[in-house]
Amino acid sequence: MPIRSAVPGPLRSRPRLVTLGVDSSSVLGGFTRAHPTQQDLGTADFGSLDWTVWNARQGWATGAEWSKGCFPSCAQATYVPHKLKIHVYDPNSHGIFQQMKVISTRSVGFHAMRLAGVGDLPSGWAWG
């Protein structure tokens, strides 16, 4: 089932953070010494993705996938960072990347496609 991310518009520039899912259960950013919880979400320091390649054809970033468990509860859980790489590619005729692949030590990885808005839904990224 696709999951919308909090990168709502076209990927024209190097995002500092990418939030996955409507509940922010995973945040893609950089490594910090912080240990944020769900309550800290608005002010938490998740660092920044480090874009080592960014050109007209592709982009590569390294950083951390911050994921939270639900112990003692989902609201009180602490986010834990896991090493990741991101690859964006397949630019359209306007130079906007249409594909994103996330390779994480936490999971088997994600693949995303850029979706146009439909009806009341805004455009965004769908993860599968």
Q: What is the pLDDT of residue 6?
A: 46
Amino acid residing at 66? W
Q: What is the pLDDT of residue 123?
A: 55
Burial class of residue 108, CB neighbours in 10 A (0-12, 13-18, 19+)? exposed
**How many Å apart are CA 95 and CA 58, to the nearest integer?**
10
Name the residue ranges covered by the structural domains of the chain: 15-117
Q: Which residues of the chain have pLDDT under 50?
A: 1-6, 8
Amino acid residing at 128? G
For 58-91, b/e burial (b = at least 16 CB within 10 A) is ebebebbbbbbeeeeeeeebebebeebebbbeeb
119: left (phi over 0), alpha (psi -120 to 50) or beta: left
The DSSP letter of residue 108 is: S
- One-character DSSP codes across 56-105: SSEEEEEEEEEEE--SS-TTTPBEEEEEEEEEEEEE-TTS-EEEEEEEES
Q: What is the pLDDT of residue 3?
A: 37
